[in-house]
Amino acid sequence: MTLRQPFAACVLAGKDIENRPRRWRPGWFLLHAGQSLDRSALRDPLVARAIRGRELVTGAVLGLVRVTGCHQDPEGAKPCTPWAFPGRLWHLELADVHELALPVPAAGRLGPWRPAADLVERVLDQLPHLRTTERSLT
């Protein structure tokens, strides 16, 4: 799962919803910070509080995250969390975030993508307690 910075850092800091145009299935995903930085997001107070003191690494896998569900808020309803954008977006429910001590440089693209086996191996070298998730990584 590739996110632009500062949103990848926000997930590491506890952001529990990721907004996407399509439904995603539950499962484990590499948390990848894309190459670009969304500078306008740095002015958002919610984002600024979340990333305070964090380095905004780009072009690297920063950890693992589990998508536990995916929903849309009912039309006209208040967003489910401060991180949820209103409208007809899908809200990926994020949990079990495991941050890497050393980000692993990697190319990626926005949206879901399948990581190479050697990339998964380099990530799991830092998170050996999660080796059982290896077969289910997307």
Domain range annotation of the chain: 2-136
pLDDT in tens, 127-136: 998 887 655 6
Q: Looking at residue 136, what is its pLDDT?
A: 64
Q: How far apart are CA 56 and CA 33, in angstroms?
A: 9
Q: How far apart are CA 84 and CA 11, in angstroms?
A: 13
Which whole number is the average pLDDT over 40-68? 97
Phi-psi region of 101 (alpha: psi -120 to 50; beta: other; left: phi over 0): alpha
Q: Looking at residue 131, what is its pLDDT?
A: 82
Q: Looking at residue 110, what is its pLDDT?
A: 76
> What is the reported pTM?
0.91
**Is the CATH number of domain 2-136 3.40.50.300?**
no
